[in-house]
Structure formats: structure tokens, C-alpha cells
Amino acid sequence: MRKIRYGMATMAAGAALVLSACGGGSGSEGGGGGETGGGGEKVRIGIKYDQPGLGFSSSGQFSGFDVDVAKYVAKELGYTEDQIEFVESPSANRENMLANNQVDMIFATYSITDERKKTVDFAGPYFVAGQDLLVRADDTEITGPDSLNGKNLCSVTGSTSAQRIKDEHASNVNLVERPSYAECVTAMQGGQIDAVTTDDIILAGLAAQPNNAGKYKVVGNPFSEENYGVGLPKGTDKCADINAAINKMVEDGSWDEALKKNTEGVDYSYNKELNPPKPTEACA
């Protein structure tokens, strides 16, 4: 399969075609892709702004595994870093943002599901996560969801992950909600809760933050499977090129390097039976 590459000399001529295929177009700032200082069109990439280790924004700087994968893929599609416009993409808004031409693609812990595929195309997956638990580093009692009876378990408001544990694994667990996972971790530090639950890589990213170093661990007993995909407008023809870029990132070691960098200092190991993923040419 031939990847699409664009030299700077031909960027202006080819950019309209590229962004049209990705759901974008030329236009003013905040609408379709606008001109950058480099003379080429922007690519607008949706990420999370509040998930340390995955998608995080601080003082205009963007970091995390999702961000690193997005930059690699964009480069393979012919964009330089200064042509990337990162756009905050909250979970509840992702489908609408793609449908309304607010972004060209989304890298934001976006699980591929049959329901979402009715309105969105997915390239990938670029990572396969699993629901897990974050506990204090010295905790020896909590080894998985079945050991949570009588414990205080935190997840974010509106999430179904904690309720899943109560329904399927530990009916006597006490559920606690906080507006963000960071606030769950703060509550655990204060002794108000015993564990936090969500996808394992999100937990690892939280534990890897400098102020949390050495204090927490991911239990390492995932009990679900979440395929993180690249969200694209329905009917795109970009899945093959994006999947080729993901496979190249895996093959040249950049995928593993990015994952290690963003979970450094955490006792965390991803599921090696499912990762690294090997997306096919077609949309997932």
C-alpha cells in the first residue's frame, strides 16, 4: 500500500483534496482548515485536554500518548507539527464535532463500538485498553474487581465503569463520584477512597504525574477490552493511510517509545496479547 506524502512545494495544491477527504476544507480560523505560517493547510485533530499521559493541555503545550500518535500519523500524511491544530474534544461531543466539520480526526481514548460506527468511521485501533484499578502502592488487599466488597471505589460523574463493577463483580462496593479522575486520586490520597477505576492506560497516566510518583500502582488485572480508534467523518477514504502510519509507528519502535515515555515511573504493563495492535487497511 502506498502512503500519501506531500512535499512542502506541493502542499498548497494538494491540501484542499486532503482536508476534503478528512472532512475539512479551506476557510477562516475556527471553521475549515486555515492557512498556517508554513504556507500549507492545517489539520484539526481532536484530543482530550484533561487526561495526563494521554491528552493533556498546559500553557499551550500538548502532551500524552494520544498526542504522540496523532503527531506521528499527521507527519505520515504530510503535515508538519506547526500545521496541526489541536482541538479539545470532550467525550460527549466527539460525534457532533466530526459531523459538524469542527475537526478532521480525533485521537481521544475513543473506543470503537458498533453504535458509534453508525455515524463515525474509525481507523485503528492504535491501542487496546482494559478497565482496571488504581490503588495505593502499598495496598495488598485489592487484586481485582472481585476484591472490592466493602471498599470505596471512585470514578468520574456519569461514567458506567464503577457501576459495572458493582453489578458484575462486587455488589457491596461503595461507589463514589468525582468530577475528574484527578480528583478521585486526590480523594484516595486523603484516605476517602480505596481505588479508582477506568481504562488501565488512563490510570497509568495519572500515576505517572510527578506529584503522584511512587504513590500508586495499576493493579494489572484488566477485565474489559477497549479498542482506541481514530475517529473520522463517515465515508472517509483515509483509513488505509492512517492505519499504514500506525503500523509503521509500531514497526519502527516509536509506538513503544511513546507509551513508555507517557507511563514512566509507574508499575504498569499493557496487555501484550492485544498490543501493539495491527490495524488492517480498511476502516475498523
Q: What is the pLDDT of residues 102-145, one digit of tens each?
A: 999 999 999 999 999 999 999 999 999 999 999 999 999 999 99
Mean pLDDT rounded to a whole number for the chain: 86
Q: What pLDDT shows up at residue 177?
A: 93
pTM, to two decimals: 0.79
Where do the CATH 3.40.190.10 domains begin and end in the chain?
Answer: 8-129+226-262, 131-218
Q: What is the CATH number of domain 8-129+226-262?
A: 3.40.190.10
Contact 204, 181 (CB under 8 A): no
16/237 Cα distance (integer angstroms): 14
Q: What pLDDT shows up at residue 190?
A: 93
Residue numbers in the chain where pLDDT is lower than 70: 1-39
For the 131-218 domain, the top CATH level (class) is alpha beta
Q: Which residues contact 181 (CB under 8 A, 6 or more apart)?
A: 51, 155, 156, 196, 198, 202, 203, 206
